[in-house]
Amino acid sequence: MPVLSRYIITEILKSSILTMFFLVSLFNIFTFNDELQKVGEGSYTIGKIFEYLALITPRLFYELMPSAALLGSLFAVGAMANNREIVAIKAIGLSPYWVIKNIMEAGLILIAIATLVGEFIAPDTERDAQLLRSTSLNNEVVLRSQYGMWLREGNQFINVRKVINDNALSDIRIYTNNDNNHLASITHAENAEYIGDQKWRLSKITKSILGENKVSATTEEEAIWESAINSKLLQVTVVDSDNLSIIDLYNYINFLKNNNQKSQKYELALWGRVINPFVIFVMIMVSAPFVIGIGRGTSSGARIMAGILIGICFNISDKIFSNYGLVYDINPLLIAILPSTIVLCGALYALKLKI
What residue ranges in the chain does DSSP mark as E strands? 141-145, 148-153, 156-165, 168-177, 183-196, 199-210, 215-226
**Is residue 61's pLDDT more than 60?**
yes
Q: Which of 35-44, 118-127, 156-165 has the lowest mean pLDDT?
A: 156-165
Chain Cα centroid distance, residue 278: 18
* Span 235-251, pLDDT tens digits: 555 556 666 788 888 88
**Is residue 259's pLDDT more than 80?**
no
Report the chain's C-alpha Rg in angstroms: 27
Indicate the pTM of the whole model. 0.75
Look at residue 355 in the predicted model and tell me its pLDDT. 65
pLDDT grade, residue 231 (50/70/90)? Answer: low
Dist CA 67 CA 71 (whole Å): 6
Task: Please compute the mean of the pLDDT values over residues 120-127 and round it to a whole number.
Answer: 88
Which of 42, 105, 117, 50 lies closest to 77 in space, CA to CA?
105
Look at residue 140 in the predicted model and tell me its pLDDT. 56
Give the start-to-end residue ranges of the domains of the chain. Answer: 3-131+240-354, 142-228
Task: Please compute the mean of the pLDDT values over residues 144-170 and round it to a whole number.
Answer: 76
Look at residue 99 in the predicted model and tell me its pLDDT. 84
Q: Which of 9-18, 194-203, 232-241 has the lowest mean pLDDT?
A: 232-241
**Is residue 145's pLDDT more than 60?**
no
Task: Please compute the mean of the pLDDT values over residues 148-162 and round it to a whole number.
Answer: 81
Q: Is the dihedral of CA 102, 105, 111, 116 positive or negative?
A: negative
**Is residue 55's pLDDT more than 90?**
yes
Dist CA 35 CA 29 (whole Å): 10
Q: Is the dihedral of CA 135, 117, 68, 319 positive or negative?
A: negative
Look at residue 16 in the predicted model and tell me its pLDDT. 93
* Span 85-121, pLDDT tens digits: 877 887 888 887 888 889 889 999 999 999 999 989 9
HSE, side-chain direction, 13 A CA sphere, residue 92: 8
* Span 313-334, pLDDT tens digits: 887 888 888 888 878 888 888 8
Look at residue 50 in the predicted model and tell me its pLDDT. 96
